[in-house]
Amino acid sequence: MHKTYYIETYGCQMNVADSELIAGLLQQEGYRETGDIQASDAIFVNTCSVREHAEERVHSRLGTFKSIKENNPNVIIGVLGCMAQSLKHDLLENKPYIDIVLGPDSYRRLPALLNRQRKSAGIVDTHLSRFEVYDDLFPSRGEGINAWVSIMRGCDKFCTFCIVPFTRGRERSRSVDSIVAEVRQVVADGFVEVTLLGQNVNSYSHEGYGFARLLTAVAAVPGLKRIRYTSPHPQDMTEDLLYVMAEHDNICNSIHLPLQAGADRILKRMNRTYTREHFMNLVDRIRTILPAVGLTTDIIVGFPGETDREFEQTLGVMEYVKFDSAFTFKYSPRKGTKAAEYQDQVHPQKSQDRLEQLIKLQKQHTLIRNRQVVGKVQTVLVEKESKRSSASWAGRTDSNKWVIFEKGAARIKDFVSVEIRDARGVSLHGNIIGEKRK
């Protein structure tokens, strides 16, 4: 009988990619994945610390794991990822039902730990490495359209609100050769799109190769229809990178460019290293070189000390850029970060009001941007069945907008030309007018 594991993943795409790495390691040990948590021999949760809400969700799941362990004392329970660091003491002292706590750089130890004789105390390893990039491992990906490929780990930017430099450690990159080899493999496995991942993807640097050169190498992999990447830092957006994007058909015309805030004093306090003017100039450059680019962003409201006037400056940058969509967050103090020490925290109700205002404005901008493509023909990659109707496909444009259209003769993974008829809510609706091969 094979042993089985169950894994639940919270947080960003890096965590999704890490869970695939972990799955690969476990499968090498003869473990098989199961969706049935009650019947599994080992239960893992890959955790996120970026906001308090994410941690709360994990804590409530741990309550469920505890009761499973009460019924089945042999099950192994492992807490992995970003929360390992901050919670190791709490987990050891107050949660004896947890067997294993591993931070993001310690996953290689998992097979050995699972094979150990039963032990009395839990095992904790939250050591952060300056080198670990898991270059030689084989992530277990299942099937799909898009494969996540991690190209670098950690972050050295130290934005004052962000826990990531503490939970994931220093920035380090994989070699171009190993990344390209992995991309070739995922294409051979049937994937048609890759998303290159890093906490700070465009500060990629390995033996003289920067991100633009890496993208050029990845774009040359035969059979790869689409390349996306996330998330870049505005400071590291080079002209080179924009030209590489413009020159390659298979590099998608969309950029996720986190703004965070629109007032210079707040940006400085966040240690974002750019001003509102820099950001707006950068957007102008991007739109000059990549005219139909889709631009999305992350914005935080209620950062310590943010005044009404400064919040309005964030709305001002949004008005200027008119992002295609935005992830919006209320500032959440993270213990150990500089901003959590600031004395002038914004009242939660004020942050809530600002968040609502910002979401309302973004909805208008999304509609404006979506309406701009109505009447145009877009190349869409067929990705899945529409949730609303089994007669329709859903797929994305190059600029990362979802389009719903009648299936016709198209199949999943086809490129089709879709004439956009209508923009409602967040997605577009259209009709196939032709099949497109690239």
Chain residues in the site for ligand 5AD (CB under 6 A): 50-51, 161-162, 258, 260, 298, 300, 329, 331-332, 334
Residues of this chain, 100-139, that bind ligand SF4 according to CB under 6 A: none
Q: How far is the CB of 10 from ligand 5AD (least distance, A)?
A: 13
Tokens 């929360």 belong to 83
Partner touching 155 among ligand 5AD, ligand SF4, none, CB below 5 to 8 Å by kind = ligand SF4
Partner touching 233 among ligand SF4, ligand 5AD, none, CB below 5 to 8 Å by kind = ligand SF4
Please identify, using beta-carbon distances, which residue of 169 and 258 lies nearer to ligand 5AD: 258
Q: Are 379 and 397 in contact (CB under 8 A)?
A: yes
End-to-end Cα separation, the chain, in angstroms: 46
Chosen residue from 147, 162, 197, 404 binding ligand SF4 by CB under 6 A:
162
> Which of these, 151, 185, 189, 191, lies nearest to 171 by C-alpha position?
151
Give the DSSP H or E segment for 382.
strand 377-385
Partner touching 5 among ligand SF4, ligand 5AD, none, CB below 5 to 8 Å by kind = none
Q: Are 57 and 10 in contact (CB under 8 A)?
A: yes
Residue 150, φ and ψ in degrees, nearest 5: -80, 125
Please identify, using beta-carbon distances, which residue of 159 and 263 lies nearer to ligand SF4: 159
Please identify, using beta-carbon distances, which residue of 44 and 229 lies nearer to ligand SF4: 229
Please identify, using beta-carbon distances, which residue of 260 and 397 lies nearer to ligand SF4: 260
Q: Are 152 and 174 in contact (CB under 8 A)?
A: yes
**Which residues does residue 226 pair with via DSSP β-bridges, in sequence order?**
193
Residues binding ligand SF4: number (CB under 6 A): 10
Residues of this chain, 176-235, that bind ligand SF4 according to CB under 6 A: 199-200, 233
> Which of these, 177, 224, 168, lies nearest to 200 by C-alpha position?
168
Residue 189, φ and ψ in degrees, nearest 5: -80, -5
Give the DSSP H or E segment for 435.
strand 427-436
Q: How far is the CB of 157 from ligand SF4 (least distance, A)?
A: 4
Q: How far is the CB of 17 from ligand 5AD (least distance, A)?
A: 15
Please tell me whether residue 420 binds ligand SF4 under the rule CB under 6 A.
no
Partner touching 51 among ligand SF4, ligand 5AD, none, CB below 5 to 8 Å by kind = ligand 5AD
Please tell me whether residue 48 binds ligand SF4 under the rule CB under 6 A.
no
CB atoms within 10 A of CB 39: 11
Nearest residue (beta carbon) to ligand 5AD = 298
Q: Which stretches does DSSP call E strand in 198-348?
A: 205-206, 209-210, 226-230, 254-256, 294-301, 325-330
- Per CB under 6 A, the segment of 74-82, 83-91, 156-164, 406-414 that binds ligand SF4 is 156-164
Please identify, using beta-carbon distances, which residue of 128 and 394 lies nearer to ligand SF4: 128
Sign of the alpha-carbon torsion through 313, 319, 323, 324: positive
Please tell me whether residue 257 binds ligand SF4 under the rule CB under 6 A.
no
Q: Are 324 and 373 in contact (CB under 8 A)?
A: no
The rounded distance, in Å, linking the Cα atoms of 322 and 31 is: 48
Please identify, using beta-carbon distances, which residue of 156 and 277 lies nearer to ligand SF4: 156
Please tell me whether residue 165 binds ligand SF4 under the rule CB under 6 A.
yes
> Which of these, 350, 347, 354, lies nearest to 314 by C-alpha position?
354
Residues interacting with ligand SF4, by CB under 6 A?
155, 157-159, 162, 164-165, 199-200, 233
